[in-house]
């Protein structure tokens, strides 16, 4: 009887307090699928605090699910900028590097969303709407593009949901990296600007 009470009380406490599940995403293994020549100018890569702290979270049946993505977005942005431009100076805002660069490359997370399947086998999509802006040193907008990057996996059960989320996160980061690189290296407007700086 005592044991049963203990089990019941413990279960009630656990149900009332809920758990926090952290999904850890690692974009360091991402790689570029295309090669493109670098643009021979120096850019200031602007990564705001908002971008660095971006993430996804959800409350569901008393549990708290958290996916911190900001550091990985920053890492992907650095990789893309370094592959696309000859010289990259990073800052959290434009005044910090004013006068030291030819142009600014601004990364912005517009929206992160994640769907959950109706069952553990159901499809789950993690997606980000990511905006890139390229401005000259006076702040005039030269080029803007929005990337929809996505990672898909099964929702996963109580034992596999973290593994599935990790897989999905990495897939999204790789997609973001490659789509961003493709967009920047094929932008006619950036090429024109680079030619005018030379």
The site for other proteins (CB under 8 A) is made up of 60, 110-111, 113-119, 122-125, 127, 129, 131, 141-146, 148, 155, 187-189
At closest approach, how far in Å is the CB of 1 from other proteins? 31
Query: Phi/psi of residue 108, each to 5°?
Result: -145, 135
Structure tokens at 75: 């890492």
In the complex, the smallest distance separating the C-beta of residue 8 from other proteins, rounded to whole angstroms, is: 25
Placement of tokens 């702290």 in the chain: 53
Q: Least distance to other proteins from the beta carbon of 195, Å? A: 13
Q: Which is nearer to other proteins, 18 or 122 (CB)?
A: 122
Phi first, then psi: give them for residue 191, nearest 5 degrees. -60, -45
Nearer to other proteins, 31 or 119 (CB): 119
Place of tokens 């094929």: 186
Nearer to other proteins, 124 or 178 (CB): 124
Cα separation, 135 vs 187, in Å, equals 13
Q: How far is the CB of 163 from other proteins (least distance, A)?
A: 19
- State which residue, 86 or 129, has the beta carbon closest to other proteins: 129
Answer yes or no: are the C-beta atoms of 112 and 172 closer than 8 Å: no
Nearest to 188 by CA among 146, 145, 156, 152: 145
């Amino acid at each position: 009887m005592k044991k049963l009470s203990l089990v019941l009380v413990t279960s009630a406490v656990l149900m009332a307090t809920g758990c926090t599940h952290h999904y850890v995403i690692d974009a360091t293994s991402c790689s570029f699928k295309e090669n493109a020549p670098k643009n021979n100018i120096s850019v200031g890569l602007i990564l705001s605090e908002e971008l660095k702290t971006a993430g996804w979270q959800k409350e569901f049946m008393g549990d708290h699910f958290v996916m911190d993505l900001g550091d990985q977005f920053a890492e992907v942005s650095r990789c893309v900028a370094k592959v696309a431009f000859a010289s990259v100076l990073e800052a959290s805002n434009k005044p910090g590097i004013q006068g030291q660069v030819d142009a600014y490359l601004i990364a912005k997370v517009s929206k992160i969303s994640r769907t959950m399947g109706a069952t553990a086998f159901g499809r789950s999509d993690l997606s980000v709407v990511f905006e890139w802006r390229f401005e000259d040193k006076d702040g005039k907008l030269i080029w803007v593009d929005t990337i929809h990057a996505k990672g898909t996996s099964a929702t996963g059960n109580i034992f596999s949901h973290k593994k599935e989320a990790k897989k999905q996160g990495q897939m999204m980061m790789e997609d973001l990296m490659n789509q961003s690189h493709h967009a920047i290296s094929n932008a006619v407007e950036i090429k024109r600007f680079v030619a005018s700086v030379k």
